[in-house]
């Protein structure tokens, strides 16, 4: 909600001087030690599973524009860009359809917790520029349009369920009248390829506004755990596009323990190889973010030594569409989670609530089935690390150090017809073995490996987990493989 312009001008000057202050602190900042970094990353590395929420004005449009279906697949949070509407036409159509019901966020939070997620990242502002909080520097926000602070409502609901809080924030902005969309050939904009309707633009003024809104988000809602930026291109990124170093320092100043992704940048040092969403590089300089973000894609062999999080949709769109029925099966989703954990990554799985904040029934059911599986098998995912042995033909492996011993969780995706599986190359003494879903099982060392009985029908057709407790740290025969697919 914007206040009178004198106040706005004062706010603007204040922000300007704060920016200078932050900039000065950045240059003096010491690099973080690896011990401090590990401590900061600990909860997130253990979490393994989070919920993503894409929700904003586009949600009410639901993939339809002026009575026409815009598409049956792809991101409908991009609908403004797909139909090439300027921000006024878009807002006129979308605002009346965005009607958050009371307590919508409690449903999201309960669903996330029951699914086994430890954190939720939600869109505070997407590319359309509509801010879900009550912003002093904009009228294109929930405060001005709905007299509500939806960010506050969501944060309160997440905290009530004991979930960590992540803010997605788009640095791309299709609303602001100074956003310099002609400065990039690669970033999307509904008016791309056309002259600025208002003559010339001063992108620096948009960047001031971006910093001011981020300052609001960073100072009003208590502790924030993740800032999930979106996104940059090879031809427009980092300090040039967003004063990124300073933006990150601004957030860290208020939240020293926060984690941020790498999307204020698009360079190899920041973990990017190309513009493709699977175009990640096997490196990440921590100055550019804490983790890399493969999108709709699980890296083949994980990314040893680098923190990563695969974000993924349940159908093919992030924002709600009434026309996208390509739902992934719960088998696929559970197996993705297991695959990602076995490679040392996190899974950020998206819901796209409707214009009133309701979660589509298909998404509720998908998350509930993951929750049912997690209820039995949670310990084989949370606080585990990547498999140090190559992917076996029968499934995946996750690992946990337990005192001096090591527990291997054997995720049997293909329950064997011959009544046993083998773990090749592992020669540790077996201390114990049990099925997480119950039922008899035994394990014996044999011919440079371990043979585990799997009698009867599969306890869980999606993934039956066997916990194998081994003496000491993992010792394996060199022929047994390495961190693998
Ligand atoms: C992309 C899309 C966006 C979505 C995001 C999620 O960058 O532009 O719509 O929010 O990825 O990863």
Read out DSSP for 262-290? Answer: STT--SGGGTBSSSSTT-B-S---GGG-S
Mean pLDDT across 378-383: 98
Mean pLDDT across 269-293: 91
User: How many angstroms separate the alpha carbon of residue 269 from the centre of ligand 1?
Assistant: 21
Element (H, E) at 82: helix 79-82
- Interatomic CA distance for residues 236 and 262, integer angstroms: 14
Residue 126 CA, closest ligand 1 atom number = 10
- For the cut 70, the answer to whether the pLDDT of residue 28 exceeds it is no
Ligand 1 lined by 318 (C-beta under 6 Å): yes
Q: Report the half-sphere exposure of 479 (CA within 13 A, side-chain side).
A: 6
My answer on whether omega of the bond before 425 falls inside 30° of 0, hence cis, is no
User: At 484, is the pLDDT very low, low, confident or very high (cuts 50, 70, 90)?
Assistant: very low
Mean pLDDT across 228-251: 98
What's the pLDDT score for residue 281?
85
User: How many angstroms separate the alpha carbon of residue 461 from the centre of ligand 1?
Assistant: 33
Q: Could you state, in order of their start, the residue ranges of all structural domains in the chain?
A: 5-380, 395-470
- For the cut 60, the answer to whether the pLDDT of residue 178 exceeds it is yes
User: How many angstroms separate the alpha carbon of residue 85 from the centre of ligand 1?
Assistant: 19
In this structure, the residue with its CA closest to atom 10 of ligand 1 is 318
User: How many angstroms separate the alpha carbon of residue 231 from the centre of ligand 1?
Assistant: 8
- Dig out the tokens for 383 from the structure: 């606080």
pLDDT tens for each residue of 314-350: 999 999 999 999 999 999 999 999 999 999 999 999 9
User: How many angstroms separate the alpha carbon of residue 71 from the centre of ligand 1?
Assistant: 17
User: At 438, is the pLDDT very low, low, confident or very high (cuts 50, 70, 90)?
Assistant: confident
User: At 3, is the pLDDT very low, low, confident or very high (cuts 50, 70, 90)?
Assistant: low
User: How many angstroms separate the alpha carbon of residue 268 from the centre of ligand 1?
Assistant: 20
Question: For a pocket test of ligand 1, which of 58, 128, 172, 230 has the largest count of ligand atoms closer than 8 A to its C-beta?
Answer: 230
- Dig out the tokens for 135 from the structure: 């912003």
The answer to whether the CB of 396 falls within 8 A of the CB of 342 is yes
Question: For a pocket test of ligand 1, which of 129, 132, 295, 320 has the largest count of ligand atoms closer than 8 A to its C-beta?
Answer: 295
Question: For a pocket test of ligand 1, which of 75, 174, 312 has the largest count of ligand atoms closer than 8 A to its C-beta?
Answer: 75
Ligand 1 lined by 311 (C-beta under 6 Å): yes
Concatenate the DSSP letters of all residues of 326-368 into one string: -PPPHHHHHHHHHHHHHTT-EEEEEE---TTSPPPHHHHHHHH
What's the pLDDT score for residue 175?
98
Mean pLDDT across 105-119: 98
The answer to whether the CB of 352 falls within 8 A of the CB of 59 is yes
What's the pLDDT score for residue 282?
87
Whole-number mean pLDDT of the chain? Answer: 92
- For the cut 70, the answer to whether the pLDDT of residue 4 exceeds it is no
Ligand 1 lined by 230 (C-beta under 6 Å): yes
Ligand 1 lined by 294 (C-beta under 6 Å): no
Least confident stretch, 199-213, 277-291, 376-390: 277-291
Question: For a pocket test of ligand 1, which of 80, 168, 231 has the largest count of ligand atoms closer than 8 A to its C-beta?
Answer: 231
Least confident stretch, 57-66, 361-370, 398-407: 398-407
User: How many angstroms separate the alpha carbon of residue 97 from the centre of ligand 1?
Assistant: 22
User: How many angstroms separate the alpha carbon of residue 230 from the centre of ligand 1?
Assistant: 7
- For the cut 50, the answer to whether the pLDDT of residue 93 exceeds it is yes
On the 0-12 / 13-18 / 19+ scale of CB atoms within 10 A, 453 is middle
Ligand 1 lined by 373 (C-beta under 6 Å): no
Mean pLDDT across 431-457: 93
Instruction: List the beta strands (DSSP E) in 413-481.
Output: 420-424, 430-435, 443-446, 449-453, 464-470
User: At 196, is the pLDDT very low, low, confident or very high (cuts 50, 70, 90)?
Assistant: very high
The answer to whether the CB of 167 falls within 8 A of the CB of 219 is no
Least confident stretch, 95-99, 303-307, 320-324: 303-307
CATH of domain 395-470: 2.60.40
Quick count: other Cβ atoms within 10 Å of Cβ 11?
A: 17
What's the pLDDT score for residue 475?
77
- The yes/no answer on whether domain 5-380 falls in CATH 3.20.20.80 is yes
My answer on whether omega of the bond before 426 falls inside 30° of 0, hence cis, is no
């Amino acid at each position: 909600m914007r206040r009178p312009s004198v106040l706005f001008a004062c706010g603007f000057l204040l922000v300007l001087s704060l920016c200078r202050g932050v900039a000065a602190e950045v240059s003096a900042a010491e690099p973080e030690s690896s011990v401090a970094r590990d401590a900061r990353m600990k909860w997130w590395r253990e979490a393994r599973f989070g919920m993503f929420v894409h929700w904003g004005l586009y949600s009410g449009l639901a993939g339809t524009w002026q009575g026409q279906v815009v598409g049956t697949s792809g991101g409908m949070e991009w609908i403004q860009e797909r139909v090439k509407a300027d921000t006024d036409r878009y807002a006129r159509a979308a605002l009346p359809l965005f009607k958050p019901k009371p307590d919508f966020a409690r449903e999201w939070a309960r669903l996330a917790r029951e699914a086994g997620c430890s954190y939720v990242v939600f869109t505070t502002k997407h590319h359309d520029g509509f801010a879900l909080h009550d912003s002093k520097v904009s009228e294109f926000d929930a405060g001005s349009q709905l007299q509500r602070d939806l960010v506050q409502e969501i944060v309160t609901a997440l905290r009530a369920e004991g979930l960590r809080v992540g803010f997605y924030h788009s640095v791309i902005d299709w609303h602001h009248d100074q956003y310099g969309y002609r400065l990039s050939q690669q970033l999307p904009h509904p008016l791309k390829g056309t002259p600025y309707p208002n003559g010339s633009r001063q992108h620096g003024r948009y960047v001031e506004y971006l910093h001011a809104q981020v300052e609001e988000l960073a100072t009003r809602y208590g502790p924030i755990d993740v800032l999930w930026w979106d996104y940059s291109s090879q031809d427009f990124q980092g300090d040039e596009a967003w004063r990124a170093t300073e933006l990150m320092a601004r957030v860290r100043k208020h939240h020293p323990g926060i984690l941020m992704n790498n999307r204020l940048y698009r360079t190899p040092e920041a973990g990017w190889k190309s513009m493709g969403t699977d175009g990640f590089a096997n490196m990440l300089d921590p100055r550019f973010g804490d983790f890399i973000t493969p999108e709709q894609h699980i890296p083949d062999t994980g990314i040893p030594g680098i923190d990563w999080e695969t974000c993924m949709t349940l159908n093919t769109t992030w924002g709600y569409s009434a026309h996208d029925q390509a739902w992934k099966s719960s088998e696929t989703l559970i197996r993705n989670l297991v695959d990602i954990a076995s490679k040392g990554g996190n899974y950020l799985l998206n819901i796209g609530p409707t214009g009133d904040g309701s979660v589509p029934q298909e998404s509720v059911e998908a998350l509930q089935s993951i929750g049912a599986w997690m209820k039995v098998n949670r310990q084989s995912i949370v606080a585990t690390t990547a498999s140090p042995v190559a992917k076996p033909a029968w499934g995946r492996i996750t690992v946990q150090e337990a005192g001096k011993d090591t527990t291997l969780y054997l995720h049997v995706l293909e329950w064997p017809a011959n009544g046993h599986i083998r773990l090749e190359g592992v020669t540790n003494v077996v201390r114990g073995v049990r099925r997480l879903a119950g039922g008899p099982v035994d394990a014996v060392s044999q011919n440079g490996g371990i043979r585990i009985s799997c009698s009867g029908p599969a306890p869980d057709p999606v993934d039956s987990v066997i916990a194998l407790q081994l003496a000491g740290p993992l010792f394996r025969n060199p022929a047994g493989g390495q961190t693998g697919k």
